[in-house]
A and B are shown apart, each in its own frame.
Chain A
Amino acid sequence: MGRYLLRRLAIAIPILFGVSAIAFFMLHTAGGDPAVLKLGARATPEALAKLRHEMGLDRPLLVQYADFLAGAVRGNLGLSYRSNTPVTQEVLSRFPATIELAVTAMALALLVGGPLGILAAMRRRSVVDYLSSVGVLIGISVPTFWLGMIFIIVFGLWLGWLPISGRINPRLGADPSTPFLTVAAVWQGNWVVAADAARHLILPALTLAAWPAAIVARMTRASLIEAMGQDYIRTARGKGLSQGAVLMRHAFRNALLPVLTAIGLEFGTLLGGAVVTETIFSWPGLGQLTVAAISARDYQIVQGVVLLLAVVFLTLNLLVDLLYAALDPRIRYA
């Protein structure tokens, strides 16, 4: 296992270099002069040239990339063109809000998608199965940004049940940039803030959960049906085990691997999907930061977000692979 882990890490490093190169060269050749962005369109050519020199933008692109890499390995991703604050600080301060949203959405997706997939597999070709298939198809066909708008119209505006933007009611005095606000408030015993933060979380999390819930339901159903057709299930039934015991003790454990892969991959997709969801619900996370940075052409920030999410994505894939070995004793690495 140790050797396998080392091998996987050795593969991840060149991929990260590749991602950093893609992000750097694409964004630094995208047009839009950072010096103009800082000084404004009316700045004199001399002032612009001076600032470009100070920012190192007059050096060859390859030298700039080498400089960026040297800083990146020490955790320094440069300064934001817009706010002049360190990119690492700005990106990391927004990350917990995105993680809170993504983890809640994935939990909802598992709570809905898992049981739905199991039910559909147990009652194959029944009404439940057909209804679940329709639900899955709708889940993967609805655009996230439209679903979010519909939720806002129905639950926020018509019914008035839930708040439609932000992380917390500003009147409560809680800091909206607190990492994991809901959990932190529960931890501190501040139930008013916890309840309000949870209410703010529901609509964006539901919006973000629709796609992964559909994927989890589809994968669970397909894997369970395949597992139920295996010889060991016939043996389990033959020795008189109940349907529930056969399902949970034998079929489900074996069906879990592909579902786990889907969950790992979908969590990465979920972090990406948060870009759109956060925009709709004014959720102060990485997505909102990215969209604002793009419209301001602050590509230092976009680059920082791309790198951070690539690291998270690769780590998740590695974790899923390692979990394989833990769940399936037949798999032996190294």
Chain B
Amino acid sequence: MSAPVRDRAADAVSLAAPDRPRRRWRAARRFARDPGAVAGALLLLFLAMVAVAGPALVRDPIAQNIPDRLQPPSATYWFGTDELGRDIFARVVGGAPISLASGLASVIIGLALGTLMGAVAGYREGRLGLALMGAVDLLLALPAILLAITIAARVGAGLPAAMVAAGLVGLPAYARLARASTLSVKRREMIDAARALGASDAAILRRHILPNILTPLIVQATIGVGSAILLVAALGFLGLGAQPPTPEWGRMLSDAQRYITNAPWIGIFPGLAITLTVLGFNLAGDGLREALDPTATS
């Protein structure tokens, strides 16, 4: 596409949404007035700080210290130690970047593939669209954890397998949302205008449809990070995710099971960390949805 054509098509988009900055400002104000959303955002900010700076400030999360094994929480070991004498506080802090990154990576995988499939299916409603959405529906024909287990078994146990599995499990939600939004956006005049100016299908999808369907997808993705973190942790718990000695929270809970009777603290803190992280994403995601769509029932 030539530059003038691109500019005129971009103008068409901007003409279609003249009050977008004002709407964003209003949404930001609504988000800031929602105590749950603010609590969620603060929680995520805190977790992000722990994930970035924390590992440098605590002990080595994989360093073993057998004489101090199975110590209860104390001034020396705030969260106690595990069966190999490793500091659980250091492992929980060290697990923060792993869990946050794996949740985000899973969502990026599902969001990118799902949006692409859904947008193409919505834009090309014919056989291609039907085939794409048929593939998406196949992924919905199984409970999430079982689909994730099958994918993780194929890719091979490990954190990358768990991330791919959690990403593909989330894909259908993004694909369906992207398809529905694309069906509505492609009927707008700006798309006809772009096509009349000679824009290719790929350019229309990239420059005109994608920017207009992103908002609901981002809201869905924010909520999806929590579910992805839970799924990655569940796979870790079942032995299909992160492998020892990686301080991944789900894997830590799996190892803690054997010591539940004499050292329950080994499992309590990683589980609490997962709960708080998922809670943060759920609160922030709900707040974002309500801020962007105040007509939704809350």
Interface residue ranges, A against B (CB under 8 Å):
14-16, 18-19, 22-23, 26-27, 29-31, 133, 137-138, 140-146, 149-150, 152-153, 157, 222, 225-226, 268-269, 271-273, 275-276, 279-280, 290-291, 294-295, 299, 302, 305-306, 309-310, 313-314
* Chain A residues with CB under 8 A of B298: 222
In the bound complex, what is the Cα–Cα distance between A29 and B153 (angstroms)?
A: 10
Choose one: A23, A133, A150, A152; the contact of B150 (CB below 8 Å).
A23
Q: Which of A137, A280, A314 contacts B257 (CB 8 A)?
A: A280
Q: Which residue of B lies closest to A23 (CB)?
A: B150
Which chain B residues numbered 227 to 257 have a C-beta less than 8 Å away from chain A?
A: 230, 233-234, 237-240, 250, 253-254, 256-257
Known interface pairs A143-B230, A143-B274, A302-B153. Does A149 touch B257 (Cβ–Cβ under 8 Å)?
A: yes
Let me know if A149 and B267 touch, CB within 8 A: yes
Contacting pair B230 A137 (CB below 8 A): no
A158 to chain B, nearest CB (A): 9
A140 to B283, CA, bound (A): 11
Alpha-carbon gap, A23 to B224, bound state (A): 25
Min Cβ gap A277→B in Å is 10
Verify B282–A276 contact, CB threshold 8 A. Answer: no
**Smallest beta-carbon distance B204→chain A, Å:** 31
**Cβ of B180 < 8 Å from any Cβ of A?**
no
Are B275 and A142 touching (Cβ within 8 A)?
yes
Give residues 138-167 of B contacting A (CB, 8 Å): 138, 141-146, 149-151, 153-154, 156
B271 engages A30 (CB within 8 Å): no
Is the CB–CB distance between B283 and A310 below 8 Å?
no
- Establish whether residues B278 and A15, one from each chain, have CB atoms under 8 Å apart when the complex forms: no
B283: nearest chain-A partner, CB-CB = A137
User: In the complex, are the beta carbons of B282 and A294 less than 8 A apart?
Assistant: no
Does B293 interact with chain A (Cβ within 8 Å)?
A: no
Given the complex, which residues of A lie within 8 Å of B237, measured CB to CB? 143, 145, 276, 279
Q: Using an 8 Å CB-CB cutoff, how does the interface string of B13-42 with A read, 1 for contact, 0 for none? A: 000000000000000000000001000000
Quick check: A309 and B282 within 8 Å, CB to CB? no
Q: Which of B142, B253, B260, B264 contacts A309 (CB 8 A)?
A: B142
Question: In the complex, A42→B51 CA distance in Å?
Answer: 46
A180 CB, nearest partner CB in chain B, Å: 21
By the criterion CB–CB under 8 Å, are B240 and A294 in contact?
Answer: yes
Cα distance A144–B231 in the bound complex, in angstroms: 10
**In the complex, which of the residues B151, B261, B268 contacts A26, with contact meaning CB atoms closer than 8 Å?**
B151
Is B297 an interface residue when CB atoms closer than 8 A count as contact? yes
**A152 lies within 8 A of B156 (CB):** no
- Would you give the 0/1 interface string for B261-298, flagging 1 where the beta carbon is closer than 8 Å to chain A? 10010011011101100110011001000000000011
Q: A146-B253, A153-B264 are in contact. Are A310 and B142 (CB under 8 A)?
A: yes
B153 with A294: CB separation less than 8 A: yes
Contact A30 B240 (CB under 8 A): no
**CB closest chain-A residue, reference B272:** A146
Instruction: Confirm or deny: B60 has a beta carbon within 8 angstroms of a beta carbon on chain A.
Output: no
